[in-house]
Amino acid sequence: MTKFSEAVQTKTSGCAKCFSMIYTLPCILDKEVAKFLTSFGSPKYPLATVKLIRIDAADGFHIEGRIGTKTIKFVMPKKYEKVPIKTIEEKNRFEQCLANWMTQKLNITIDIE
């Protein structure tokens, strides 16, 4: 079993309107990841023609990534910048979805701490 924090590098980023977590994955993003993110919504663009993942979720959250790269971004409203990161329910759910996708893709167990 591999821990999520050992397999994935994360960093935070922010601007005047939002707060983001950027994840560098141990594998290449493919269009199958969208199936694991359905609890957030469906892709804004057809993944077969546009290699850009954009899922607009409720309450100002959204997911951005490019098929064929190793990074994906989870964007949150600015107010979450002051909240302890481990307590953000949507971020934790997003990480669990990523862990489930990586477990299936890499055929190893990725566990959220």
Instruction: Note the pLDDT tens digit of each residue in 20-59.
Output: 999 999 999 999 999 999 999 999 999 888 999 999 998 8
**pLDDT category, 14, cuts 50, 70, 90?**
confident
Determine contact, residues 111/102, Cβ cutoff 8 Å: no
Taking 80 as the threshold, does the pLDDT of residue 113 lie above it?
Answer: no
Residue 16: pLDDT band (50, 70, 90) is confident
pTM equals 0.94
* Terminal C-alpha separation, the chain: 11
CA distances 105 to 27, 82, 87, 99, Å, are 8, 34, 27, 10
What does the pLDDT read at residue 77? 93
Give the position of tokens 């977590």: 21
Q: Quote the percentage of the chain above a pLDDT of 90.
A: 82
* Res. 1: pLDDT tops 90: no
With beta carbons less than 8 A apart as the criterion, state whether 92 and 80 touch: no
> Could you write out the DSSP letters of every residue in 18-58?
EEEEEEE-SS---TTHHHHTTTT---SS-TTT--EEEEE-G
Tell me the CATH number for domain 2-111.
3.30.310
- Percent of the chain topping pLDDT 70: 100
Here the tokens at position 113 are: 């701490």
Domain boundaries, the chain: 2-111
